[in-house]
Amino acid sequence: MVAQDQDGTSGTFRSGFVALVGRPNVGKSTLLNACAGTKIAITSSVAQTTRRRMRAVINSQNAQLIIVDTPGLHKPKDALGKELNRAALGELADVDVAAMLVDATKPVGRGDAWVAQHVAASSAPYKLLVITKADIASPEVITEQLEAARKLAPFDDALVVSAQERFNVDTFISMVSAHLPEGPKWFPDDMGTDATDEDLVAEFIREKAFRNLREEIPHSLAVRCDSISWARDGHASISATILVEREGQRGIVIGRGGSMIRRIGTEARKDLELLFDCSVYLDLVVRVQPQWRRDANEIARLGYDAGE
């Protein structure tokens, strides 16, 4: 995938890292995708959809911006939740810009205040407050949210955006780029993300499962890409495993007569064919892995850990 060009800063070349942080479902992944101009991070209405750190590389003539999407910060209930929080907070330790996102449609609360404390304590030289989802909130509500959120931490700037409508997305990129340090290109121009093909496959399948299954299933579900092979005619054959914690959940994911797993596979295959620009054969298997969310080794194997 090719990174999207944007107007950058003038003069010396600037490069650096930006962490998008905030509570679950504030629009971090949607903003990341809007900045990249292509789908990199998955989205859904399910809390804690983001489990894996995703990076989008945005290139301009005078800047390279690496945007890092992080899991939503929340009160953890298991080892997975603790690891996701650790991953998100870990990104604040060594970035040039900390962008805290606040949902314009939900009152600023204790969760936002907790996130803001970590943003304020981070070593990021530039701290930006971003009010999201401006397309579905009234101007009066947005103004109230902006005033309330500004009191949470000493932000250097604030911006209102709608990633869905691309309102102020380019402005976000320009503002952030202007505050990056002088530096080299960290990634090649044609590299839009540092995620592997296997990572993207697993994420795209998981997104379709989240969007099709009832609310209690997604938190117990994970996806692992087992293999990708390329045929001589150019099409891709992909095998992946969907993990659940109980046998009853396995039946729900498969569905009556295999109807649900076929739906998930069909929807995922459409995204994967766009990703790889070829026809895709997708083989999905559902396996029970009891209490995988409490197993640190399994969390690491799935790539949901914070890493070292």
107 CB-contact burial (10 Å; exposed 0-12 / middle 13-18 / buried 19+): exposed
Contacts of 35 (CB under 8 A, 6+ apart): 4, 6, 56, 58, 65, 67, 169, 172, 173
The amino acid at residue 254 is: I
Kindly provide the b/e burial profile for residues 162-188, where b requires at least 16 CB atoms within 10 angstroms of the residue's own CB.
bbbeeebbeebbbbbbebbeeeeeebe
Q: What integer pLDDT is reported at residue 148 of this predicted model?
A: 96
Which residue, among 263, 243, 266, 244, has the nearest Cα to 255 in the 3D structure? 263
Provide the token pair at 224: 């692992």
User: Each residue of 81-132: pLDDT tens digit?
Assistant: 666 666 666 667 788 999 999 999 999 998 899 889 889 988 999 999 999 9
Q: What integer pLDDT is reported at residue 196 of this predicted model?
A: 87
CA distances from 175 to 44, 99, 103, 158, 171 (A): 28, 11, 20, 10, 6
User: Each residue of 135-171: pLDDT tens digit?
Assistant: 999 999 999 999 999 999 999 999 999 999 999 999 9
Poorest-pLDDT segment among 6-10, 54-58, 126-130, 265-269? 6-10
CA distances from 56 to 2, 122, 159, 197 (A): 10, 21, 20, 14
CA distances from 110 to 21, 149, 252, 291 (A): 15, 11, 35, 30
Which domains are present in the chain? 14-178 (3.40.50.300), 197-301 (3.30.300.20)
Q: By the 8 A CB rule, do 72 and 26 touch?
A: yes
Count CA within 13 A, CB hemisphere, residue 191.
14
Q: What integer pLDDT is reported at residue 308 of this predicted model?
A: 45
- With a cut of 60, say whether residue 8 has pLDDT above it: no
User: How many residues does the structure list for the chain?
Assistant: 308
**Mean pLDDT for the stretch of residues 56-71:** 87
Neighbours of 289 (CB within 10 A): 17
